[in-house]
Amino acid sequence: MKIFYSEAHRRHHPPFEVFDGGQRVPYLENPERMDKILAALRKTDWAEIVEPSDFGLDPILAIHDQGYINFLASAWTEWLVTAPEGGSASDKSAILPATFALRHATRPRVPKSFLGRAGYYMMDLSAVIVEGTYQAALASANCALRAASSIVRARRPQVTIAHSEDMSRRSNRPPSAFALCRPPGHHAGKDYCAGYCFINNAAVAAHWLSSKGKVAVLDVDYHAGNGTQDIFYDRADVLTISIHADPDFEYPHFMGFADETGAGAGLGFHRNFPLPAGTDDATYLETLDKALELIMVHRPSSIVISAGMDIYDGDPLGKFKVTHDGIQEIGKRIAALNLPTVIVMEGGYANEELGENVGTLLREFAIRA
Ligand code: SP5
Ligand code: ZN
């Protein structure tokens, strides 16, 4: 199975984030996450790690606002000349605004000043921008795009001589690929960054795939995929489904409720499955089955999985109790849809178990018959 991965993520390593209550903590979405995943994948006999090619800005601008992407591109140089000076609590090491956009401005407009635009385009204090963030986010999107193109391009293995039953069966499996994305993407909306996410990698891949046929995006990250919801909310050709912690108690707080089901032509083509804290394997899998049924009804040509491993019991941000076996079963059931699949890395912060969890999920696609 091809794993698309770029070392460029290392340029994105914010020194801290700010939790509720104003507490500065080490950035949980750290480069070590990739090292743990790579180490686990390199131990398998099926993972082939590949550097992505550059798809340029067009597939990104197809779903993100130009002004927002311009902001990401020039943020660091602008910050260096506008960052607040002095005081022990003030430093230039990371971009964080202290003022955020009003929901109902008298005359809504993009602010002129850099700090105004930062507050406008940033939703929270965990999408921290540093010098290399934009380059890392572009490389991350390229991983998703390359994975998407690989499942379309990939011809089923030509079996010239069917040596065995096993080989001919293998030739029928639909293609799948893993985009080992960092930074993650599913909280990034059309014109904002949020929750460690800057460019919505899964959405970029799903939109790219949507020119070839209907698509479904299934988000199994612990947090609601608000960015993906935002981007496809009025579209019927891309079904989006998110299973996550109830926003009544969990980040992102403002989206991900069960009664949000799409708008206009997209009405009925978004679904949220909010779940309580403490959700275990049984409850999770029961909900997953409902989501998979909706996907089958949609009859997509391909699916994109936003794979967050923060559903894992013991994740420092998550409050679910999904086990290693649960993750294996999630992989099995999604793979059983038998559809061309792009799996995109989202969250997951229990670094010591992260590699094994990702490997277990992917293995079901790598070995499917
Ligand atoms: C991609 C992804 O998983 N993003 C998640 C971003 C969550 N950021 C919100 C952090 C809220 C902090 N709550 C503190 C709980 C610590 N026990
Ligand atoms: Zn998450």
Would you write out the chain's pLDDT as a tens digit for each of its 369 residues? 999 999 999 999 999 999 999 999 999 999 999 999 999 999 999 999 999 999 999 999 999 999 999 999 999 999 998 877 765 555 789 999 999 999 999 998 999 999 999 999 999 999 999 999 999 999 999 999 999 999 996 655 555 554 544 443 455 789 999 999 999 999 999 999 999 999 999 999 999 999 999 999 999 999 999 999 999 999 999 999 999 999 999 999 999 999 999 999 999 999 999 999 999 999 999 999 999 999 999 999 999 999 999 999 999 999 999 999 999 999 999 999 999 999 999 999 999 999 999 999 999 999 874
Looking at all shown ligands, the one closest to residue 197's CA atom is: 1
Pairing of strands 238-245, 48-50: unpaired
Q: What is the DSSP string of 177-209?
A: EEE--SS--TT-BTTBBBTTBSS-HHHHHHHHH
Asked if the bond preceding 184 is cis, omega within 30° of 0, the reply is no
Q: Which ligand is closest to the CA of 188, given by its number?
A: 1
C-alpha span between 83 and 59 (Å, rounded):
32
| Cα–ligand 2 centroid distance for 347 (angstroms) | 4
Q: Which residues pair with residue 18 across a beta bridge?
A: 24
- Contact 19 CB / ligand 1 (< 6 Å): yes
Q: Which residues are the active-site residues?
A: 187
Looking at residue 167, its pLDDT comes to 43
Q: How far is CA 159 from the centre of its chain?
A: 35
Instruction: Judge whether 158 and 167 are in contact, CB under 8 Å.
Output: no
pLDDT score at 268: 98
Strand pairing class (17-18; 24-25): antiparallel
Q: What is the Å distance from ligand 1's center to 18 Cα? A: 10
**CA 252 to ligand 1 center in whole angstroms:** 8
Q: Which residue owns the Cα nearest ligand 1 atom 4? A: 195
pTM: 0.95
State the pLDDT at residue 173. Answer: 86
The closest residue, in CA terms, to atom 8 on ligand 1 is 195
Return the closest-CA partner of residue 277 out of 249, 257, 242, 315.
Answer: 249
Helix boundaries (H) for 55-160: 58-61, 66-82, 114-121, 133-153
